[in-house]
Structure 1
Amino acid sequence: MSRPTKIIIDTQAIKYNCQLVTMIAPQSKVVAMVKADAYGHGAAEVAKILAAQVGKLGVCCLEEAQLLRDAGINKPIVLIEGCFEEHEYHLSAKLDCEIVIHNEQQLSQLLALEQTFAFTVWLKIDTGMHRLGISLEQSAEVFAQLQTSTKVAKIILTSHFSNADELDSPSTPDQIRRFERNIAPLLQAQTKPVEISLANSAAILGWPKSHYDWVRPGIMLYGISPFAGAEHNADKLRPAMQFCSKVIALRTIQAGETVGYGNTWQAERTSIIATVAAGYGDGYPRTAPSGTPVLVNTHRAKLVGRVSMDMLSVDVTELPHVAVGDEVELWGARLLVNEVAQYAGTNGYELVTRMPSRVARSYQ
């Protein structure tokens, strides 16, 4: 690649973060969430990195599953939103995917299939997030239909937390209680193998009562905390993505002069401004305001002016000697993506998952 803008993925950090999952939830098996191109880290590459550590992989759609199979990945794959059209069940079977059932239409499509393949079905129950899931009132009837169907080999009862990243919120223990009360009679009536999965990254880290048979780490695998503040387990995570570039120009401007589109930042003194080859076309948030931290030669500096498509500007007046070609870290192990995201009015999830293809990605 001709531009110095790049993403470096620390493969050992991903392995370490997955090992932390198993240390925190030693009785649980792991579904590694590699949807959205493994949160921008490369789905096929991450699946290979974690092959020896996890039992299943989680994706959002069949296209993501197909990519993994084309890459030679043979781990079980869970379609976390299930199938959207009738023909997708046949492709799911061909790709050896496990499917989520979260509404009556999906249930009807599954039961009407004319095939002998028997799926592992994740029955998603709505315990309070009210996004996807069979209602608590309907869950017993749906569970009974799945148990009697020849299209179903195994059932995994699942739900999703709405607020697990807030450790003082009562909603997570409330959801756990609803789930446990709801599934108790189902487990007593089971005739097929049944397992349980509740915990996403925040629940793995902060809510040990939610671990059960399968945990579903996503953002934590990539070393990004799901919490806004400090948390004992999350603070052990190691960031896997370093987003970096280089200084491509330097200029001295006088007090009263401005930088960037719209003249939004004005120098209060004689200032040295470094131009960096990275912008919103490379995945850096355009909403990042002046003052957002940037590391130049490991020293903290501040973004100034509006972020352009291909470039951004940094005030390096207070830094030791800076030259064209010097290294810049936009986020990584020394500058956490969550800090940058906070300045930009979003979260680390969004920043890492929207990295474009023009930024070269390497694995170390």
Structure 2
Amino acid sequence: MDARGAVARINLEAVRHNLRVAKQLAPGARAIAVVKANAYGHGDLTVAAALKDEAELFAVARFEEAQKLRAGGIRQPILLLEGFFNVAQLEYAARHDFHICIHQFAQLEALERTPLARPVTVWVKIDSGMHRVGFAPEQADEVFARLARVAAVLQPVNAMTHFARADEPEQRAVTEAQIARFQQVTKGRVKATALCNSAGVIAFPEAHADYIRPGIMLYGITPFGDQQGSDIGLRPAMDFTTTLIAVREHKAGEPVGYAGSWVSPRDTRIGVIAVGYGDGYPRMAPPGTPVLVNGRRVPLAGRVSMDMATIDLGPDATDKLGDEVLLWGQGLAAEEVARHVGTIAYELVTRMTARPRLEYIGE
């Protein structure tokens, strides 16, 4: 019996395939591979190393994420999507070829007053409609003019924006307005532009520009709520699995688990699987959420606990201890599981804790 618990098996060839799909969708653009949040739960250093021959840049959210990549041997430029927040980070970025997104005047002022050992590449974040971070379009004239006078900045600068609703096909006009707003304030003023996240790469070819920023699609997951990655030729990069650690005979009318929230309508066999919210499997996954056992779909039964979950194997089940259980991956899309849970697949893959072991194939 193999009762090793939850394992995330990462197929690196699938990640490479998915980047190629993104590049095929945008043949005139270069690729910024987004590996923030530990490569969306897939292991940032290993994923970046797998993509080092195919991605022109990498992107992360946090300064510490970029440091980890550089210390781990990644040599491509790394784009800091949130920029820097003190002079020490700015000086480090200049020394280690980090590209810097700036989105507020405090960052611009730090660039103006800080002498650097070498110039940095700057991406100006334009708030074209997300209204989270970025310079408003009416501030662009001042920002570009001031940057042009900063000796520590490579000229000309780049510009980027982020779409708020590109994953909502019925809101296409919103994204088209963002594209137009961004192009109006950047045309003829920058070296390169980047607009498209994964949804933009797929749905807005007119906005592919110089660089694309594929994120979730690298991992085989679509950003569109009513689809799954295979619909557009993506391959799931993660098989999240566990093992069956108990099989119990269960009588009709008996509850299972905390609060007795699920009661069996029939005599059946209940399987106990070694996964719970201590591994990152969502506690809010309701009864009926599917898993795969020996190639067949069976439903969750009862409430997910910290270390275990229970599934209804059915009265005629022949499954045995140690059998592998697929929670999501090849054959059961993370997007489908997310719909049962009432969340998005992004959250499923990024919320895993340190307990599940990462195993890699296709290195």
Give the TM-score range, shorter chain.
over 0.9
Correspondence 1:140-219 to 2 at 5 A: 140-154=141-155, 155-169=157-171, 170-184=173-187, 187=188, 190=189, 194-219=191-216
Correspondence 1:45-84 to 2 at 5 A: 45-84=46-85
- Do 1:116 and 1:150's aligned partners in 2 also have CA atoms closer than 8 Å? no
Q: CA distance change for structure 1 residues 232 and 336 in 2, over 3 Å: closer, same or farther? A: closer
State the one-letter code of the partner of 2:39.
A
Deviations 1:163-211 (A, max 9, x none): 0001221111111111112223xx1xx4xx6111100000001110110
State the one-letter code of the partner of 1:138.
Q
State the one-letter code of the partner of 2:169.
L
**Structure 1 Cα separation of the partners of residues 199 and 148 of structure 2:** 31
- Give the counterpart of 1:230 among 227, 230, 233: 227
Q: CA distance change for structure 1 residues 25 and 318 in 2, over 3 Å: closer, same or farther? A: farther
**Structure 2 Cα separation of the partners of residues 361 and 75 of structure 1:** 24
Correspondence 1:255-274 to 2 at 5 A: 255-274=252-271
- Do 1:123 and 1:158's aligned partners in 2 also have CA atoms closer than 8 Å? yes
**Structure 2 Cα separation of the partners of residues 321 and 159 of structure 1:** 54
Q: Which residue of 1 aligns with 2:242?
A: 245
Q: CA distance change for structure 1 residues 318 and 156 in 2, over 3 Å: closer, same or farther? A: farther
**Structure 2 Cα separation of the partners of residues 127 and 307 of structure 1:** 41
Q: Which residue of 2 aligns with 1:14?
A: 15
3-state SS of 2:151 partner: coil
1:362 shift after superposition: 0.7
Q: Which residue of 1 aligns with 2:321?
A: 324
Q: Which residue of 2 aligns with 1:287?
A: 284
Q: Which runs of 5+ in 2 are unaligned?
A: none
State the one-letter code of the partner of 1:213.
D
Deviations 1:85-127 (A, max 9, x none): 2221012122220101101111001111022421110000000
User: In the comparison of the two structures, how many residue pairs are matched?
Assistant: 358
Q: Which residue of 2 aligns with 1:315?
A: 312
3-state SS of 1:168 partner: helix
RMSD (CA atoms): 1.5
Deviations 1:6-58 (A, max 9, x none): 11001110010001011100000000000000000000000110011110000
State the one-letter code of the partner of 1:286.
R
- Do 1:205 and 1:233's aligned partners in 2 also have CA atoms closer than 8 Å? no
After TM superposition, the runs of 4+ consecutive aligned structure 1 residues lying more than 6 A away are none
- Do 2:335 and 2:345's aligned partners in 1 also have CA atoms closer than 8 Å? yes
Q: Which residue of 1 aligns with 2:105?
A: 104
**Structure 1 Cα separation of the partners of residues 229 and 342 of structure 2:** 25
3-state SS of 2:202 partner: helix
3-state SS of 1:3 partner: coil
* Percent identity of equivalent pairs: 44
1:325 shift after superposition: 1.3
Structure-1-length-normalised TM-score: 0.95
Stretch of structure 1 that moved more, 284-293 or 193-202 = 193-202
1:69 shift after superposition: 1.2
- Do 1:205 and 1:234's aligned partners in 2 also have CA atoms closer than 8 Å? no
Deviations 1:110-164 (A, max 9, x none): 1110224211100000001100100100011101111221111141111100000
State the one-letter code of the partner of 2:31.
V
3-state SS of 1:152 partner: coil
